[in-house]
Amino acid sequence: MPHRKQEKETLPHLIRRIIFIALGATLASVAIELFLVPNNIIDGGIIGVGLILNILTNIPFGVLILVLNLPFLLAGYKHLGKNFFFSSGLAIVLLAVIEVKIATLDPITNEPLLATVFGGLLLGTGVGFVIRNGGALDGTEILGILLTRRMPLSVGEFVMFLNVFIFGWAGFVLGWEQAMYSILTYYIAAKAIDAVIQGLEDTKALLIVSDHSDDIADAINEELGRSVTKLHGRGGYSDHELDVVFVGMTRLELSKAKEIILSIDPDAFTTVFDTQEAFGPTFTKPGHS
């Protein structure tokens, strides 16, 4: 296998990534503290759990989001890579710090419907900025990626299943009307995330054309636990025969996959496209070969 050296990120790209992560954390903090919390409205996932616990215990949301997300970040470090760990850790720390700074400000609105719509839009936009720059503000999807390796569920199905319990819990704690507002907030935030990251779906498919297709396929299988399919191809210009690698994965794994491909063959030609749906044991249970 060719020697794999880690591609170093350029300073301008790193600065740009940090700026957008900081912007995403700021928007999420504004949505949570100035729209959602004052109106007893939550989002789904770990953020939703943190908001409910904040209302029940008065423990600062920033502290809760750090404590709740840390185990998932550590568990996902090996699977999703150090860049993802750094980006997510930075985003979560900034969210906690900024949240404390603006927690003393007056809410922008006390009208639940306005808080739902604009809070959801701001939260989704903020989360979208973080995801687009290689991180995550919520450990739910990380947990889903790790657990679905041993469960007959996709990541999307796991997240939906978990959120059913979170919004049910919100109904008992906050009242069913607030729970309905919360579900609407989650829906709006999800649509905003998709818009920010240009329609990025939960699952992606990659076609990789390379003279080192065997090495790339082995690395993706070993480091991401994703099974691959090799398609026999022939270059239209060179008439050179080679294998084309086809693989499906979640959006959070895409950044790591790019690192793997470029470190093995910088000249590889890779096409990434959205998939409407992905199912089957080799996708829902990474690690099958």
pTM of the model: 0.67
Nearest to 52 by CA among 199, 155, 145, 172: 172
User: For residue range 55-74, what is the model confidence (pLDDT) as tens digits?
Assistant: 888 888 888 888 888 888 88
The Cα–Cα gap between 129 and 140 comes to 17
Q: DSSP class of residue 197?
A: T
In percent, the amount of the chain with pLDDT more than 90 equals: 21
Q: How confident is the model at residue 3 (pLDDT cuts 50, 70, 90)?
A: very low
The domain at 203-284 falls in which architecture? 2-Layer Sandwich (3.30)
Output the pLDDT for position 191.
83
Q: What is the pLDDT of residues 80-112, one digit of tens each?
A: 778 888 888 899 889 888 988 887 888 899 999
Confidence of residue 229 (pLDDT cuts 50, 70, 90): confident
pLDDT at 63: 85
**Averaged pLDDT for residues 1-16:** 69
Instruction: Give the mean pLDDT of the chain.
Output: 82
Structure tokens at 128: 């979208």
Q: Say how far apart CA 111 and CA 109 lie, in whole Å.
A: 5
Q: Which residues pair with 232 in a beta bridge?
A: 243
Domain ranges across the chain:
11-196, 203-284
User: Is the pLDDT reported for residue 201 higher than 80?
Assistant: no
Paired sense of beta strands 269-274 and 229-234, if any: unpaired
